[in-house]
């Protein structure tokens, strides 16, 4: 059915193009189970990172499809997990792996056209209380790796324009302190870049702080706590912020 296919159409109008037929993948596999994982088109629109679970164990095999030819590239990455992000230049893809207990604990980088055996480990955490939630910001500038535990978090940013720079931790983990981050271009001083941090640090119902991406470890007030309203999230768009 149409719901089993990934399609796209030019914004300016034109014919619909099929990128991936998941029903065909299921039929060819001989498996009784098929579930798609990641479906992420590269920033340049030329490659689809896609993953599928054919066993029902929530471990996904990842492939990369050329949208020019419609064929998958040679490299195949087994046993990946939820979460992923493209580099800004579309040359590399970041993905997540689990440990023996199915805990997402590593972030890896695969460069297109290179053997999977040469993939580079970017982040790893051996604390069994924590697991990674991973993805890119709406702006496409950063990958955000959020380590979440019972009542505390730790966030690391990776610059998708420069993966060689390594991760930057905004605030080291601390019991009973939670925070998460939104990239907000244009919301800094004089229209500069900014990060908005939703946190319960010093605010039991959460507040919003602001940080400069050049030094995201320093937070300044942006929206103070209202004890009668819990702040869950903030989303930054070109014409305004959405506060949940």
Q: What is the pLDDT of residues 47-73, one digit of tens each?
A: 999 999 988 888 999 999 999 999 999
Residue 235 to residue 9: CA distance in whole angstroms = 27
Which residues touch 14 (CB under 8 Å, ≥6 apart)? Answer: none
Give the tokens for residue 120. 């580079």
Res. 149: pLDDT tops 80: yes
Q: What would the pLDDT profile of 174-222 be if each residue is shown by its tens digit?
A: 999 999 999 999 999 888 999 999 999 999 999 999 999 999 999 999 9
Q: In what order do the strands lie in the sheet with 35-41?
A: 35-41, 47-53, 60-66, 77-80
Mean pLDDT value across residues 62-90 = 96
Res. 2: pLDDT tops 60: no
Q: How confident is the model at residue 90 (pLDDT cuts 50, 70, 90)?
A: very high
Mean pLDDT value across residues 115-140 = 95
Res. 105: pLDDT tops 90: yes
Res. 241: pLDDT tops 70: yes
Give the three-state DSSP class for 101: coil
User: What is each CA distance from 85 to 1, 46, 60, 89, 152, in whole angstroms?
Assistant: 28, 15, 15, 12, 24
Higher pLDDT, residue 233 or 58:
233
Mean pLDDT value across residues 68-79 = 94
Residue 209 to residue 141: CA distance in whole angstroms = 19
CA angle 106, 83, 19 (to 5 degrees): 135
Res. 1: pLDDT tops 80: no
> What is the pLDDT, as a whole number, of residue 29?
83
Residue 100 C-beta-side C-alpha neighbours within 13 Å: 0
């Amino acid at each position: 059915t149409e719901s089993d296919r990934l399609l796209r159409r030019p914004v300016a109008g034109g014919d619909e193009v099929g990128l991936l037929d998941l029903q065909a993948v299921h039929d060819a596999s001989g498996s009784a189970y098929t579930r798609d994982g990641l479906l992420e088109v590269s920033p340049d629109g030329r490659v689809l990172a896609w993953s599928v679970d054919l066993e029902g164990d929530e471990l996904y095999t990842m492939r990369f499809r050329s949208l020019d030819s419609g064929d998958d590239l040679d490299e195949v990455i087994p046993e990946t997990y939820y979460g992923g992000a493209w580099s800004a230049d579309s040359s590399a893809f970041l993905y997540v792996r689990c440990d023996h207990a199915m805990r997402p604990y590593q972030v890896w980088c695969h460069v297109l056209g290179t053997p999977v055996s040469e993939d580079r480990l970017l982040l790893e955490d051996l604390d069994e209380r924590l697991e990674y939630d991973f993805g890119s910001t709406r702006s496409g500038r950063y990958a955000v790796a959020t380590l979440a535990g019972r009542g505390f978090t730790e966030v690391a940013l990776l610059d998708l324009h420069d993966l060689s720079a390594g991760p930057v931790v905004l605030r080291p983990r601390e019991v009973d302190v939670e925070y998460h981050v939104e990239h907000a271009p244009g919301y800094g001083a004089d229209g500069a870049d900014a990060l908005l941090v939703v946190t319960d640090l010093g605010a039991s119902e959460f507040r919003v702080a602001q940080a400069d991406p050049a030094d995201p470890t320093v937070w300044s007030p942006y929206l103070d706590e209202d004890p009668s309203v819990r702040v869950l999230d903030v989303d930054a768009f070109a014409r305004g912020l959405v506060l949940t």
